[in-house]
């Protein structure tokens, strides 16, 4: 099986934003990093999309610290202190295009947890659970439109 890398353009690549009850802002996105056709011996193609989730936390100086003993380090699910309430500010679907497809990627945060870990700036680390979606649709062919599309000359 051989692989054929497909060129793509980024039309939208932005963060979804969540306001957390402790004052932090969680920003997340699922970015496309690779588009590949895998071609088998019969020249049948199977598409594959590589993704990378990104997150960023903005921490105000007056953050609610709760009564937690924090320590430096990377947080795991064993470090969860409590589940935090949050409000969705925006949920973004990112859009990419190849010659033949529009590719959509999105991520939705479902739970956010305060942990007992802090980052190098001594800000509480958050962990979150999310679901992600990737979908693709064929681009319309303007040279050969379906029968239900009218040609409107000017």
Q: What is the mean pLDDT of residues 28-50?
A: 85
* pLDDT score, position 17: 98
Q: What is the pLDDT of residues 107-154, one digit of tens each?
A: 999 999 999 999 999 999 999 999 999 999 999 887 776 676 566 666
CA nearest to 18, candidates 57, 63, 52: 57
Query: 147 or 6: which carries more pLDDT confidence?
Result: 6
Which residues are CB-neighbours of 28 under 8 A, at least 6 positions away? Answer: 15, 16, 18, 53, 54, 55, 56, 107, 109, 128, 130
CA nearest to 125, candidates 54, 71, 67, 61: 71
Domain ranges of the chain: 2-138
């Amino acid at each position: 099986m051989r692989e054929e890398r497909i060129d793509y353009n980024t039309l939208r690549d932005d963060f979804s934003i969540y306001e957390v009850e402790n004052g932090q802002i969680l920003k997340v996105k699922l970015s496309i990093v690779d588009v590949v056709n895998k071609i088998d011996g019969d020249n049948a193609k199977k598409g594959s999309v590589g993704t990378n989730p990104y997150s960023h936390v903005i921490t105000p100086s007056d953050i609610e610290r709760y009564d937690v003993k924090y320590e430096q380090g990377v947080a795991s699910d064993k470090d969860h202190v409590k589940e935090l309430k949050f409000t969705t500010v925006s949920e973004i679907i990112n859009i990419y295009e190849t010659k033949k497809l529009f590719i959509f990627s999105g991520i939705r945060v479902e739970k956010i947890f305060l942990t007992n870990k802090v980052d190098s700036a001594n800000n509480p680390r958050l962990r979150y659970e999310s679901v992600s979606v990737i979908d693709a649709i064929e681009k319309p062919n303007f040279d050969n439109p379906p029968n239900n599309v009218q040609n409107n000359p000017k």
